[in-house]
Amino acid sequence: RKEVEQDPGPFNVPEGATVAFNCTYSNSASQSFFWYRQDCRKEPKLLMSVYSSGNEDGRFTAQLNRASQYISLLIRDSKLSDSATYLCVVTGTGTASKLTFGTGTRLQVTL
Amino acid sequence: EPEVTQTPSHQVTQMGQEVILRCVPISNHLYFYWYRQILGQKVEFLVSFYNNEISEKSEIFDDQFSVERPDGSNFTLKIRSTKLEDSAMYFCASSDRSSNQPQHFGDGTRLSIL
């Protein structure tokens, strides 16, 4: 089983649509969870941290279910500028803990 | 907003040559990382560095690789004898505290081995 698993997509949605991405992780000891965004051939950029209580940042809502080892990201009112690859990322334990990345889910928002 | 900077943006090297990739982490950060991304694949962890020593390294980070923080601001990745399969984007990242904090990435060095 992959450490972090995501549907690679692509998800093609019209502007204004709501789209949801899911991710599962295999290590139950994982400590922290993030969604990063990556544009083509660019660096990963932090989109948001993910908490068990769920958290929202504008049009973006993230949710963590530790029991199911499942993370989600919901994007409302999609914009053309949301087109990117969304990376599900988890950390382990310990000092200077590495990030483990999923392969990413590609989103294409169209007119 | 402070950022992680990497140089060069693109490095082309003959197979077997040594290459040094440079990074300047965010100034008050204490934890430093190198990752790589082969074209079309996921981002992979190479090494983490804290308190002037390696904290963790992956299977990829073999004897051909080394890291150094020579002067308190730069953080370098050296590949001693490059192979074709080392061709990838190399990202440096830093964070100000340990595992629960997000890491901030530089814009990467594209390494092309001929």
Contacts of B2 (CB under 8 A, 6+ apart): B26, B27
Which residue in A has a C-alpha nearest to residue B57's C-alpha? Answer: A98
Cα end-to-end span (Å), chain B: 37
Return the number of CB contacts < 8 Å for A and B: 72
| Shortest Cα distance, chain B CAs vs residue A111, angstroms | 26
Q: Do B100 and A91 touch (CB under 8 A)?
A: yes
Q: Which residues of B touch A104 (CB under 8 A)?
A: 42
Q: Do A44 and B105 touch (CB under 8 A)?
A: yes
pLDDT tens digits, chain A, 111 residues: what are they?
A: 789 999 999 999 999 999 999 999 999 988 899 999 999 989 999 999 998 888 999 999 999 999 999 999 999 999 999 999 999 999 977 666 899 999 999 999 999
* B75-79 and A99-101 strand pairing: unpaired
pLDDT in tens, B32-68: 999 999 999 999 999 999 989 999 999 999 999 999 9
Closest CA to B31 of B7, B8, B42, B47: B47
Residue B109 pLDDT greater than 80, yes or no: yes
The pLDDT value recorded for residue A1 is 75
The pLDDT value recorded for residue B72 is 79
Torsion angle in degrees (nearest 10) through CA of A87, B91, B103, A85: -20
The pLDDT value recorded for residue B2 is 73
The pLDDT value recorded for residue B98 is 61
Q: Do A94 and B98 touch (CB under 8 A)?
A: yes
The pLDDT value recorded for residue A71 is 96
In this structure, the number of other CB atoms found within 10 A of the CB of residue A44 comes to: 26
CB-CB: which of B35, B89, B99 is closest to A97? Answer: B99
In this structure, the number of other CB atoms found within 10 A of the CB of residue A38 comes to: 20
CA distance A42 to B15: 25
Please report, for residues A32, B20, B70, the alpha-carbon distance to residue B27 in angstroms, rounded to integers and kept in the order given.
Answer: 23, 21, 15
The pLDDT value recorded for residue A59 is 98
Q: What's chain B's length in residues?
A: 114
Contacts of B22 (CB under 8 A, 6+ apart): B6, B7, B8, B74, B75, B76
Q: Do A96 and B44 touch (CB under 8 A)?
A: no
Q: Which residues of B touch A99 (CB under 8 A)?
A: 33, 35, 43, 45, 93, 103
